[in-house]
Amino acid sequence: MASKIAIRELNKDDDYGIIKKEIVVASSPSFETPTKCIKNLESPLPSTAQINEVTKRVSLRTIESFRSGGEQPRELLDRGEKGKLNLTIFDLMFDNVPSHEITKSLSSYWYASSEQILFVPTIRAKLLKLDKALSESRILECVAFLRDLINITEMRNYKAFMGTIPLLPFKFSKPFIDLYLEKGFNTYAIDVGNRDLLNHIGDLRSILYEINEQIPLNRVFIYACNLGIPRFEEYTARADDFLSLFAYIDAFGNTFKTKGGGEIKGRPIPKAKKFLKEDLAYRLLLDNPLKYGSFNQREQVKEADTVRSLVGIEKMQKYLETKKGVDPTAIKHLGIMMEKVKIK
């Protein structure tokens, strides 16, 4: 039988969806949220960073290599950080929903590659579509595959599961939520798919509302990854990925799904982002997008530490109003989020 992580509310803000929680995972030190995850950071690591992401693109070729003794989970386990909660995240690159036989092999590889939490793999957007449009039948096929994967893995399993929910209109996200609630999961990952979360707050609200109907959000751990930023006209953008911490997201991770380029007003879209914690904004630069990755993560860990120390002590609105990159409209939308999703 799968275990559950232990979650305890420590404090919360009355006006925004931000809760300070203590999280305890078997064989891993406890930590507090809200927090920022790290990925591929060289030592010394920020002492307060508690979640380390290990991402892996998994194709049919990967599974065939594993079945023949080539691909081994050891490489993924070796990328873990001692004393951290290591999340091994499989980004499935399958072109079709896998067969039961492939799913059995995937289950073995997945289980052996994960230390404390089995993070339900993310699925390519194309598998959810038919003729380039979201398809209910394709969604149900993917959910049936995940059910099969979880059922196979549940046998003799003592690790916790984290159920991955793609950020979609509620009609399409609900089958994923129903599966994980049926299984009794209390840990969820929102795969935002490079979208700007604050511009899809209605979709997020529907997901959280549905979970909250069965498990109060102060007893759930919610992680988000592949967060985008809003459209921009000048070379600055509000840090909406960081602001997800004010919308019931306990920990936000990094981007591991690719995003296309393009132009805006005839100019190339800058791919490099430099986090400005004093503004909660990004300076956007026509530079190597990897140049500021480590800098941004370290700065975001520090700022998340600051936010965590203020929860329940100082009004979050006062904090947000000091950040020049956060406009009044964004602050209002975050407040509405709290009003619409009241903890049961």
pLDDT at 108: 96
pLDDT in tens, 109-159: 999 999 889 999 999 999 999 999 999 999 999 999 999 999 999 987 789
Quick one: what percent of the chain has pLDDT higher than 70?
A: 95
Confidence check: pLDDT of 168 > 70: yes
Q: What domains can you pick out in the chain, each with its CATH number? A: 6-340 (3.20.20)
pTM score: 0.94
Torsion-angle region of 51 (φ positive above 0: left; ψ -120 to 50: alpha; else: beta): beta
d(CA 55, CA 324): 33
Distances 341 to 44, 201, 208, 211 between C-alpha atoms, Å: 39, 11, 7, 10
**Which helix (H) or strand (E) covers residue 6, if one does?**
strand 6-12
Half-sphere exposure of 31 (CA within 13 A, CB side): 25
Q: Is the previous residue joined to 34 through a cis bond, with omega within 30 degrees of 0?
A: yes
pLDDT at 136: 96
pLDDT at 266: 53
pLDDT in tens, 269-308: 667 899 999 999 999 888 888 889 999 999 999 999 999 9
Region 219-223: what's the mean pLDDT? 98
Torsion-angle region of 331 (φ positive above 0: left; ψ -120 to 50: alpha; else: beta): alpha
pLDDT in tens, 172-212: 999 999 999 999 999 999 999 999 999 999 999 999 999 99
d(CA 152, CA 195): 32
d(CA 236, CA 18): 25
**193 in Cβ contact with 167 (< 8 Å):** yes
**153 in Cβ contact with 188 (< 8 Å):** no
pLDDT at 259: 63
Confidence check: pLDDT of 265 > 90: no
d(CA 329, CA 172): 28
How confident is the prediction for the chain on average, in pLDDT?
92
